């Protein structure tokens, strides 16, 4: 496999203070022999956060005695030269605006339990983030044109489509951590009863387990699950049904976690296929929007809560402070943290490891009854030449129709934001599967434009 120029890979992380990526990227860059001979460049516009992450990286590098070079800057152009990979993992005051998106949408009858990929939340997050993503892509084309741009910013599909369409000069694909291999496949092997202990998941078990998951990011489905030629989907569904019986007995009570097993099993009964990302998928369908007349066994979606996410961020930064100060030893960091989906993919590409990963990219015939340009989350072979989707088969009717509606919404959103076109923005909102009223959609657009004025490009107000 092509590894030209990657013996000393340079990975630039734009958004180093990310809750889900910054600390993990440091761990993998230090831990992996394929990456720790290279350079990690941290970028964040928050100087305080950047300084903390840089100090953490310095401590981890020193404790592990590896030759990984470290760069840090609030200006991405200062560190892009020579980059092999540029990972986008930022958000502009993400918790604040996500909360605003969800509250204003709820006021007008749209319930979002996550609020960052579909519905008004997904559309307005694109309006806030995609212009910056395009600026990053232009800088990459200028300073490191051979680098791979890996989008890790939600909405994954919209930004992935947007990069491929409006920044074709750069090489790009998009990732989400919801289908992190091999963990997701091992999890389904446990559900199916193929293994009864995670330690029993071996290469032989993996080879005999034909698991095919596909769909738009956050709206993916298990389309096939066979072990040594035997269908194990019923066993997977039964494990979800059993989980639903006790899922409200304590545990996570956040909006994304509530009733996931019950909803997953209900969708399996309705469509014959298991949803692979229920915490988000339940937000992509209209069934739990509270619009029905007949009572449902599962209540309408709860609304995403900003305060717990603020608390998680605060806890993360307290932990980073403790690592940097020595209150918690770096050896504990190496034990607590672990590889991230994006850094696993980068390691696989650099090392030519032949591993497969779920990547958001063009379909290119993998799902045979959807267009080649459908931007889907698919199991891919990947090396330095990029991802190559593996065959999936057909997307079942019903599911395919919903996939196409979501794709239309996402494609319209990318186009509207790239062109700053209000007509296309309104059309995207009215195409969205959660929107059932033109008047409500118009009210949401108007109120969110005003509430988020300081985070949006001025063209929306001209």
In this prediction, residue 299 carries a pLDDT of: 96
Banded model confidence at residue 253, pLDDT cuts 50, 70, 90: confident
Q: Strands (DSSP E) along 81-208, which ranges?
A: 85-88, 148-151, 171-174
CA dist 384 and 351 (Å) reads 9
Work out the average pLDDT over 407-429. 99
Architecture of domain 10-103+115-176+313-353: 3-Layer(aba) Sandwich (3.40)
pLDDT at 3 over 50: no
Banded model confidence at residue 249, pLDDT cuts 50, 70, 90: confident
**Between 21 and 52, where is the model more confident?**
52
The two three-digit tokens of residue 217, written as one number: 């990011």
CA dist 83 and 426 (Å) reads 38
Question: Each residue of 340-373: pLDDT tens digit?
Answer: 999 999 999 999 999 999 999 999 999 999 999 9
The two three-digit tokens of residue 117, written as one number: 């990929």
Question: Each residue of 296-341: pLDDT tens digit?
Answer: 999 999 999 999 999 999 999 999 999 999 999 999 999 999 989 9
Alpha helices in 209-288 (DSSP H): 233-246, 260-271, 278-281
CB 153 within 8 A of CB 173: no
Residue 182 preceded by cis peptide, ω within 30:
yes
Banded model confidence at residue 403, pLDDT cuts 50, 70, 90: very high
CA dist 127 and 154 (Å) reads 11
CA dist 102 and 112 (Å) reads 6
CA dist 383 and 345 (Å) reads 9
CA dihedral 23, 26, 32, 37 (to 10 degrees): 170
User: What is the phi-psi region of residue 239: left when phi exceeds 0, alpha when psi lies from -120 to 50, beta otherwise?
Assistant: alpha
Banded model confidence at residue 2, pLDDT cuts 50, 70, 90: very low
Banded model confidence at residue 248, pLDDT cuts 50, 70, 90: confident
The length of the chain is 462
- Of the chain, the percentage scoring pLDDT greater than 70 comes to 99
Banded model confidence at residue 5, pLDDT cuts 50, 70, 90: very low
DSSP-assigned states of every residue in 289-339: SS--SS--SSPPPPPP-HHHHHHHHHHHHHHHHHHHHTSS-HHHHHHH---
Closest CA to 114 of 358, 309, 298, 344: 309
Banded model confidence at residue 413, pLDDT cuts 50, 70, 90: very high
CA dist 160 and 407 (Å) reads 12
CA dihedral 311, 316, 319, 324 (to 10 degrees): -140
Domain ranges in the chain are 10-103+115-176+313-353, 183-216+218-281
């Amino acid at each position: 496999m092509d590894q030209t120029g990657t013996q000393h890979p340079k990975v630039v992380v734009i958004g180093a203070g990310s809750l889900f990526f910054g600390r993990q990227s440091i761990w993998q860059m230090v831990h992996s022999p394929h990456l720790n001979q290279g350079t990690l460049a941290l970028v964040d516009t928050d100087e305080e956060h950047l300084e903390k992450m840089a100090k953490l990286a310095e401590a981890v590098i020193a404790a592990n005695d590896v030759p990984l070079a470290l760069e840090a800057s609030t200006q991405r152009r200062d560190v892009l030269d020579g980059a092999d990979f540029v990972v986008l993992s930022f958000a502009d005051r993400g918790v604040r605006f996500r909360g605003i998106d969800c509250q204003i949408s709820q006021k007008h009858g749209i319930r979002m339990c996550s609020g960052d990929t579909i519905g008004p939340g997904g559309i307005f997050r694109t309006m806030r983030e995609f212009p910056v993503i395009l600026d990053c892509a232009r800088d990459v084309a200028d300073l490191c044109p051979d680098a791979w741009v890996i989008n890790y910013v939600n909405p994954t599909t919209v930004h992935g489509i947007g990069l491929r369409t409006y920044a074709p000069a750069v090489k790009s694909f998009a990732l989400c951590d919801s289908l992190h291999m091999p963990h997701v496949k091992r999890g389904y092997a446990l559900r199916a009863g193929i293994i009864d202990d995670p330690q029993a998941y071996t290469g032989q078990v993996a080879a005999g387990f034909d698991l095919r998951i596909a769909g738009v990011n956050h709206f993916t489905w298990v389309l096939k699950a066979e072990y040594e030629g035997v269908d194990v989907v019923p066993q997977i569904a039964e494990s979800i049904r059993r989980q639903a019986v006790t899922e409200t007995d304590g545990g996570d009570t956040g909006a994304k976690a509530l009733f996931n097993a019950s909803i997953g099993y209900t969708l399996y009964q309705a469509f014959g296929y298991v949803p692979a990302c229920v915490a988000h998928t339940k937000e992509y369908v209209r069934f739990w929007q509270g619009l029905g007349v007949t009572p449902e066994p599962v209540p309408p979606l709860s609304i995403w809560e900003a305060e717990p996410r603020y608390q998680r961020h605060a806890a993360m930064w307290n932990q980073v402070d403790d690592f940097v100060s020595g209150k918690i030893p770096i050896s504990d960091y190496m034990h607590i943290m672990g590889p991230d989906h994006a850094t696993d993919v980068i390691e696989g590409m650099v090392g030519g490891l032949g591993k497969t990963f779920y990547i958001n990219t063009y379909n290119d015939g993998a799902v045979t009854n959807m267009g080649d340009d459908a931007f889907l989350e698919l199991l891919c072979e990947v090396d330095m030449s990029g991802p190559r989707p593996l065959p999936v088969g057909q997307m079942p009717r019903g599911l395919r129709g919903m996939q196409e509606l979501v794709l239309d919404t996402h494609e319209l959103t990318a186009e509207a934001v790239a062109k700053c076109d209000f007509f296309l923005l309104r059309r995207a909102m009215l195409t969205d599967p959660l929107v059932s009223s033109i008047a409500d959609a118009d009210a949401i657009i108007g109120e969110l434009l005003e509430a988020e004025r300081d985070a949006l490009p001025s063209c929306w107000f001209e």
